[in-house]
Amino acid sequence: MIYGQPVLSIIISTKACDLKNIPIGQALVQASRPRSLINPILLGVGVQLHQDFVSRLLVDEHHRLGFCVSYDEVKKYLQSGIIDGTDDDNDFDIILIFAVNAEDV
């Protein structure tokens, strides 16, 4: 092992290494401390599933498999007012802004 080289880049050594390492790393952090933070990728997947298919069953099944946050978290996010519901014909449907410090939990 090379000193200072991230562990995930040793395990996954492809050209798209960074693209694969980020979600895997976030999933590992989420699995190790499930109540301390909300993974932005998993939240984005849950919100996108809900907006595209409007199915609680689909979101709950993906949550059970670990691919997104729970339906309750999706509803909390949608009710928080972060998404205003207007369609500006932008390519940016959802903007996720998070500041997480897991050590303070």
Q: Round the average pLDDT of the chain to a whole number and report it.
A: 74
Same domain, 23 and 58: no
Count of domains for the chain: 2
Residues 88 and 59 in one domain: yes
Cα separation of 5 and 10, whole Å? 8
| Domain identity same for 6 and 43 | no
Structural domain span for residue 60: 36-104
pLDDT digits over 47-84, tens only? 999 999 999 999 999 999 888 889 999 999 988 876 65
Question: At 4, which amino acid appears?
Answer: G
Of the candidates 98, 91, 103, 88, the one whose C-alpha atom is nearest the C-alpha of residue 42 is 98
Bigger pLDDT: 52 vs 29: 52
Q: Are residues 23 and 54 in the same domain?
A: no
Distance CA(9)–CA(12), nearest Å, equals 5
State residue 10's pLDDT score. Answer: 67
Task: State pLDDT tens for residues 2-12.
Answer: 555 566 666 66
Q: Residues 10, 45: one domain?
A: no
Total-model pTM: 0.59
Number of residues in the chain: 105
Same domain, 45 and 92: yes
